[in-house]
Structure 1
Amino acid sequence: MIPTLILLGLVFGRWWRSSLMAAAVGWPVVLVATDVMSIEVGLLGASALATMNAAVGVVVHQMILRMTRQLRPAGSSRSGA
């Protein structure tokens, strides 16, 4: 499910390496555990597609993060005190 993996990247995009690794390893595990696929060479393709879909979410997250950093005034603090 493409939207699930894009959402994974959107939510956990700050930790992009972990997000991509979770998609690459976790999605094939889900496919095998739910009997959608058996352990075969095709899982490598599923892993690659899962990583690319999660990467889309990570890129969007990182772009939003950079835009908010640019729009935030330079002297503002997070605590507001």
Structure 2
Amino acid sequence: MIPALIVFGLLFGRWWRSALTLAALGWPVLLVASGVEEVGPGLLAAAGLAVLNTAVGVLIHQGVLLVVRRRRTS
């Protein structure tokens, strides 16, 4: 599910704080609700990986925005 979180970061990279927070809270809830993971220490690791994967998408989004803005001003 790494690509799903990267795409989530790409789509919502403009609101990076909200995207990272939602990934940290929403991904573990989704894992527990779907029965993939049980509540325990592994859930904290899943939340951390969700934030890292979403951060990759956010960084790509922010990088594209930076390039577009610089091209417009030049």
Q: TM-score range by the shorter chain?
A: over 0.9
SS of 1:38 mapped into structure 2: coil
* Distance in 2 between residues matched to 1:10 and 1:16, nearest whole Å: 10
TM-score (norm 1): 0.89
CA RMSD of aligned residues (A): 0.8
Structure 1 spans left out of the alignment, 5+ residues: 75-81
Higher helix residue share: 2
Instruction: Name which one, 1 or 2, has greater alpha-carbon Rg.
Output: 1
Matched, 1:37 2:37: yes
How big is the shift at 1:13? 0.1
Q: Which one-letter code corresponds to 1:29 in the other structure?
A: V
TM-score (norm 2): 0.97
SS of 2:19 mapped into structure 1: helix
Aligned residues: 74
Q: 1:20 is matched with which residue?
A: 20
Structure 2 spans left out of the alignment, 5+ residues: none
Runs of 4 or more consecutive aligned structure 1 residues displaced over 4 Å after TM superposition: none
